[in-house]
Chain A
Amino acid sequence: MESVNAKYVSQKISKTRWRPVSHSSLQQPDIFATGSWDNEDNKISFWSIGNHGSSGMDEGFEGDPQLLCEHKHDGDVLDLQFLDQDRIVTTSSTGAVTIFRHHQNSQTISVSQRWPRVHRYPCDNAPCTGVVCSSPEIVTVGEDGKIIVFRADQEGVIRVIENADSSTIHAVTYLRTTEILTCILYLDDVLLPLHCVDRHPNQQHIVATGGQDGMLCVWDVRQGSTPFSLMEAHSAEMWEVHFHPTNPDHLFTCSEDGSLLHWETSTHSDMPSFLQGGRNNSMISRSAMAPAGGNQSLISTWLSGDSSKGRLETTHMLPSQTLSVNSLDVLGQCLVCGTDGEAIFVNRQVPV
């Protein structure tokens, strides 16, 4: 792939996230943050790909990501989310949750707020494995099985749900503004932990998960305990799954086996999927639409997707086998991912 280039950064990347761009502008994202793991001194870093007003660029590949600034991080960065344009929340293997602020003018980073050791066992720290935020509220989960709610501007912890689970909670996402979905395990024939979860941007009852066996499952949360569709995606743990935020017919997954897959679902008819079916058009509103009794709700192609029927296309996005791809993020036409081979890949021309 000509438009994908590896940048070696001397740290194993555990998380990468694009800085959100404002919905009104059609700009492509230009700044992303990364967190490292398994280093003696871990860091969070901000990078720029210099994509300002980039409509005239040819081939989309103009130089490597440039490091803007970085900051030391205590413990592995297990999860990272942008709180708003300037702040990120990170969770650490020491059980701490930190908010960092990126000062764009001086290109420095400072610690804005810190909650040390919120996830812990009686005599030890527990790694905090996932975070999701909807500013100013932040929710974290950890290996101690707790769910903790914070507010960005308040010192203490708002709420702790202890023993939410007896096992480690690996991932969390917002289902609705007041509900969160945490991700532990499911049963098919074998008990398998799930590692990642993502909600469909428009239809909030649809959730995709990836697990230890590399299977991609799509669930309808309203209908309980078995997945709607199961697809064999990877040969090892799937670390992250993301719906494309504006074009949810596209899904991206990355895995321990070193591959990053782009899933594209297509419908039979020429009509785009969101116009099919009933009158309830939930594309615009953000709240979940419960279908009225008897009314045909929008049947998302994901729920009926079946790879054997040829309605699902998968493409590998990385040029060759690498070490585990730990994290990916996609926004607009840009995709960034980080690997255990200490490399970051940026693709500016994702076909969505």
Chain B
Amino acid sequence: MEELDVEPAITNIPAASDGKHLGFAWGPGDILAYETLYMAPGMCAKGSGCSFIHEVRKDEDIYSPILRKLFNESHHIFVGLQTIREDLPSKNKKTQFVSISKNYRSVIRACMEELQQVAASVLVLQVSILLAIELIWNLCEVLFIDAAPAGPLLLHLLDWVRLHKGDVDEKAREVLQSESPAEHHDYWDVVVSYVLQGRFEEARQMLVKQATLQPAARNMYKLMDTLLSKMPFYNPGGTQTLTEFDVKWRHWHEEVDRCLQDNSFASNQHLEIICKILVGDEDTLLEHKELLSTWYHFLVTRLLFCHPTVKPTELHYYAQSCMTMFLDLRSVPEPLDSILLAAFEFDIHQVIKDCSIALNNWWFVAHLTDLLDHCKLLQSHNLHFGSNLREFLLLEYASGLFTHHSLWQLAVDYFDNCPEFGHVYLELQIERVPLDTERKALKVLRICEQRQMSEQVRSICKIMAMRALRNNRLGSALSWSIRAKDAAFATLISERFLQDYCARGTFSDLDLIDNLGPAMLLSDRLTFLVKYREFHKLYEENRFSEAAKLLLSLITAKIAPRSFWMTLLTDALPLLEQKEVSHSAHCALHCGFGHDLCFSGRVQLGEAELKDNSGTK
């Protein structure tokens, strides 16, 4: 396969003047460029440096508000497509695929119409790109997805051409609305255009108007009318076989030829031209390049009048010759032309490749390739780095989406449907989504949790917990670490709570601590915090024996941090004065303290007090 040599596009950066050297850094979808201090030898500093950093984006489309609808709607269709069941019979699947393809195209058309309504000059380019995209997609639908055989193939191609040549109807409207349509200067253009597109009904209706104006030539018009009405069109739903149709058509063709040889239309130049077109005379067709306006219109028209039973495999031969005949030898074929030619040659990979180069956004190739892959039309064309073509394109597209501040959510579904690398890509990208509010963090968390991305869950929760901690929202921080099941962080926060208590003498955030339930078992320190708080509650409610028991268990369980032992001791003292505290608890408290405390001065004092109390008892 030959490499297409494309000149890289040059983008001027405003500050890059005076030969200053630019530094740059790659981003996920863009480049940051900045001025450096480097000066080439022999140059002197000119003027002050530019202190800006420039962001150079390749893909402007995702920032266009109208095109955003394209991305959202097509995402919806994409997700629906992935859920089509594999076990359906292929005929049903084909109808579904065709209808999905039509959905995609209608979305493109809707965007195009909206862009046209806005009518800003900068959007003209976007409109023409969308037009081209839809043209290519439609052709791919006809040739690859619908895969019509000889017979219906031509009919579909006719539809395709008619859809993309809208100016005929406009002109016709203009002509018909004029006072005397048959004398309008565009009248014959309209008639010929109708004939070129195989729209004989309309052509006949137009001709009637001319016929009424020229009663003398009535017979000629009648003959033409007969010829037009008798042209056979293949009926796919009918009982006629292709061979039968071919015979009928040849018969008709001979009749038209006879009329030509008979000079039946010699006196009317226009009717003569139409007759020549009907017989498929190439020179006459080429004389009407302006009306045809494109080589593929020429191709379809030529097929209509020379070879209506064309087989799909024969298309490329005709396409190549038509293109050569139609275009000037000197003109360089545009990208669109070579893409269409590749389509006629049924070279799907070439179509995709050329489209990827020509368009600056992966949207089109990603979705089209995905659809073709579902139709099982892409051979497993393995690229160097292991994933297949469909996945590669989807990954590229989705990565581009992820750089957008809002459309990143769509990208998640695309990554989900890339079996090999999607998960990894998602893991790398999702951590970069900025988390401004809790609600956004919750959404991102939900995405990670649904895909068992536990690392990312932890990381996000830790970010939110740190932020809460920084703002002194201890309760919030604690709930984040519980969600992440992050024991280490929960320990850290519990320590903060306890420090707070030591500093202020009361607890903050009681409602959270009181209601943790089984979540308190996440970390030892947290359990201690909850139990300690419970102890305080019991004490306040004057339930001293229970409080003592609890305190005892806290001490013996050894989950209290060392720094807290003093506090526990101090808490124990008033208990010892309470009469309700049972004797055994008393003793146990003594023993507990005796064993575990190290002997500092204050501790000795405490012990002395204890001895004192027990003495009085």
Contacts and interface: CB of A to CB of B under 8 A. Distances in A.
B508 interface: yes
Contact of B511 (A166, A168, A340): A166
Nearest to B64: A10
A237 B437 CA distance: 16
Contact of A122 (B75, B405, B471): B471
Interface string B435-455: 011111011001000100000
B80 A144 contact: no
Interface in A124-156: 124, 126-127, 129, 143-145
A144 B473 contact: yes
A104 to B, nearest CB: 25
B555 interface: no
A38 B438 contact: no
Contact of A166 (B69, B406, B440, B508): B508
Contacts of B69: 8-10, 342
Interface in B482-540: 482, 508-509, 511-512, 515-519
Contact of B406 (A38, A189, A191): A38
Contacts of A212: 442
Given A40-B405, A143-B437, A167-B473, A320 B80 contact: yes
Contacts of A187: 515, 517
Contacts of A144: 471, 473
B72 A8 contact: yes
B76 A166 contact: no
Interface string A174-200: 000000000011110111010000000
Interface in B446-477: 446, 450, 470-476
A187 to B, nearest CB: 5
Given A165-B511, A167-B476, A256-B446, A322 B76 contact: yes
Contact of A168 (B470, B476, B509, B519): B476
A190 B511 contact: no
Contacts of B417: none
Q: Most chain-A Cβ atoms within 10 A of its Cβ — which of B75, B76, B439?
A: B439
B42 to A, nearest CB: 44
B79 interface: yes
Contacts of B473: 121, 143-145, 166-168
A39 interface: yes
B28 interface: no
Given A38-B406, A145-B473, A191 B511 contact: no
Contacts of B68: 8, 10, 342
A191 B475 contact: no
Q: Indicate the size class of the contact surface on chain A.
A: 35 or more
A56 B101 CA distance: 37
B405 A167 contact: no
Q: Most chain-B Cβ atoms within 10 A of its Cβ — which of A124, A185, A187, A323?
A: A323
A168 B409 contact: no
B519 A191 contact: yes
B471 A121 contact: yes
Nearest to A92: B437
Interface string B593-610: 000000000000000000
B479 interface: yes
A143 B472 CA distance: 12
A9 to B, nearest CB: 8
B113 to A, nearest CB: 13
Interface string A323-352: 110000000000000001111000000000
A93 B72 contact: no
Contact of A76 (B437, B470, B516, B518): B437
Contacts of A78: 437, 439
Contacts of A69: none
Q: Indicate the size class of the contact surface on chain B.
A: 35 or more
A296 to B, nearest CB: 33
A184 B510 CA distance: 13
Contacts of B72: 8, 10, 341-343
A185 B509 CA distance: 13
Contacts of B516: 191
Contacts of B410: 323, 341
A236 interface: yes
Contact of A321 (B79, B439, B470): B79
A12 interface: yes
Contacts of B406: 11-12, 38-39, 342
Contacts of A185: 479, 512, 515
A8 B73 contact: yes
Given A189-B518, A342-B72, 12 more contacts: A37-B440, A76-B440, A123-B471, A127-B439, A165-B475, A166-B475, A166-B511, A166-B512, A185-B479, A190-B518, A237-B446, A323-B410
23 contacts: A8-B68, A10-B68, A38-B405, A38-B406, A39-B405, A76-B436, A78-B437, A123-B470, A127-B436, A129-B439, A143-B438, A143-B473, A145-B476, A165-B475, A165-B511, A166-B474, A166-B508, A167-B479, A186-B515, A236-B450, A321-B79, A340-B443, A343-B72
Interface of B: 65-66, 68-69, 72-73, 75-76, 79-80, 405-406, 409-410, 436-440, 442-443, 446, 450, 470-476, 479, 482, 508-509, 511-512, 515-519
Of all A-B residue pairs in the complex, the 8 with the closest CB atoms, nearest first, are A166-B475, A166-B509, A121-B471, A8-B69, A10-B68, A10-B65, A127-B437, A167-B475
